[in-house]
């Protein structure tokens, strides 16, 4: 099965009409039908069942197409990255992290690094996932995480990047937004978002606040739910500073606590490329400079 055949099958599955699919693919209907026949012979089962002018997916075809779509997208990404790499780069450093705001200054870092290393491609991979398993499997060169998580990895080098503090996250119109420093007592009578993807460090801070003051709570299943709840003034939130995207949509008030997050980069112990070492150094240098102006 080649990539064109993948595209043919996906298009037919979406339209359930050979003529319309052929038009969308800019090929003739007989040529499309022939390619489907060849593929079905290759894989050993029918994908489509035609009854008169009606086309439907067979049970096996439905399962096949459900998995084919993501596979085709991943393959296209691999091809495009290979094309980028072969055209102008001799080295590649892949960097995995979960949210763009975690590495807010990455574009500036890449620009600085490229001035002395134009042949090195930096490939950011941003997905809301646990990056420990992909790192163990060698799918990525470098990951951003907390020291707490990084210490679970073996055969890895940990590089401190910055300390992230805890903030009270509120709507800019909220009276709490005027505070210079928020304290637990300031949250009395409010609804606090808890749980969700909170780390152990943040859960401990939440626990102490709730033990000291009786607050209503709202369980947050994910980051987006938290942002919408705060924006709509449905609740307030204690949040690590690395989630701050530096827009004016929310107000981030420093919260009185000694707890913080040691944010680190993790590389493979056996990856001793000079380009990787120098990229990590570049990241650490810029974050050290930014720490003078931003309280992360």
Confidence of residue 196 (pLDDT cuts 50, 70, 90): low
Strands 260-268 and 48-51 turn out to be unpaired
Q: Exposed (0-12), middle (13-18) or buried (19+): which is 222, by Cβ within 10 Å?
A: exposed
What pLDDT does residue 80 have?
A: 74
- Predicted confidence (pLDDT) at residue 87 exceeds the cutoff of 90: no
Burial state string for 48-67 with b = 16 or more CB within 10 A and e = fewer than 16: beeeeeebebeeebeebbee
Q: What would the pLDDT profile of 105-139 be if each residue is shown by its tens digit? A: 999 999 999 999 999 999 999 988 889 999 999 99
* Mean pLDDT of all residues in 230-256: 91
Give percent of the chain with pLDDT exceeding 70.
96
Give percent of the chain with pLDDT exceeding 90.
68
Q: Rounded CA gap, 59 and 45, in Å?
A: 10
Nearest to 284 by CA among 163, 111, 121, 162: 162
Q: What would the pLDDT profile of 199-231 be if each residue is shown by its tens digit? A: 888 999 999 999 999 899 999 988 889 999 999
Whose structure tokens read 């997208």?
73
| List of domains in the chain | 3-82 (1.10.10.10), 91-295 (3.40.190.290)
What pLDDT does residue 142 have?
A: 98
CA distances from 207 to 151, 184, 186, 219, 233 (A): 24, 11, 16, 13, 22
Confidence of residue 197 (pLDDT cuts 50, 70, 90): low
Bridge partners (DSSP) of residue 169 are: 237, 252
* Mean pLDDT of all residues in 275-284: 97
What pLDDT does residue 235 have?
A: 94
- Predicted confidence (pLDDT) at residue 52 exceeds the cutoff of 70: no
- Predicted confidence (pLDDT) at residue 67 exceeds the cutoff of 80: yes
- Predicted confidence (pLDDT) at residue 269 exceeds the cutoff of 80: yes
């Amino acid at each position: 099965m080649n990539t064109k055949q993948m595209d043919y099958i996906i298009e037919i599955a979406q339209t359930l009409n050979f003529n319309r699919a052929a038009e969308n693919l800019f090929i003739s209907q007989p040529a499309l039908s022939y390619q489907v026949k060849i593929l079905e012979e290759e894989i050993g089962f029918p994908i489509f069942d035609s009854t008169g002018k009606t086309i439907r997916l067979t049970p096996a075809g439905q399962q096949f197409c459900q998995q084919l779509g993501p596979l085709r997208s991943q393959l296209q990404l691999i091809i495009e990255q290979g094309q980028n790499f072969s055209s102008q780069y001799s080295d590649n450093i892949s960097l995995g992290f979960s949210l763009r705001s975690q590495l807010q200054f990455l574009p500036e870092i890449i620009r600085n690094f490229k001035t002395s290393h134009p042949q090195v491609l930096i490939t950011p991979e941003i997905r809301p996932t646990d990056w420990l398993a992909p790192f163990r499997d060698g799918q990525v060169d470098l990951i951003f995480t907390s020291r707490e998580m990084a210490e679970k990895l073996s055969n890895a080098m940990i590089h401190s990047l910055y300390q992230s503090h805890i903030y009270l996250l509120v709507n800019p119109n909220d009276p709490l937004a005027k505070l210079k420093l928020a304290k637990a007592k300031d949250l009395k009578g409010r609804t606090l978002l808890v749980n969700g993807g909170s780390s152990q460090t943040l859960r401990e801070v939440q626990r102490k606040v709730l033990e000291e003051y009786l607050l209503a709570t709202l369980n947050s299943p994910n980051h987006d739910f938290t942002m919408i709840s705060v924006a709509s003034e449905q609740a307030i939130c204690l949040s690590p500073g690395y989630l701050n995207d530096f827009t004016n949509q929310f107000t981030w008030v420093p919260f009185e606590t000694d707890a913080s997050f040691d944010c680190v980069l993790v590389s493979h112990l056996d990856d001793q490329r000079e380009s990787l070492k120098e990229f990590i150094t570049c990241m650490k240098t810029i974050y050290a400079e930014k720490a003078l102006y931003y309280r992360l």
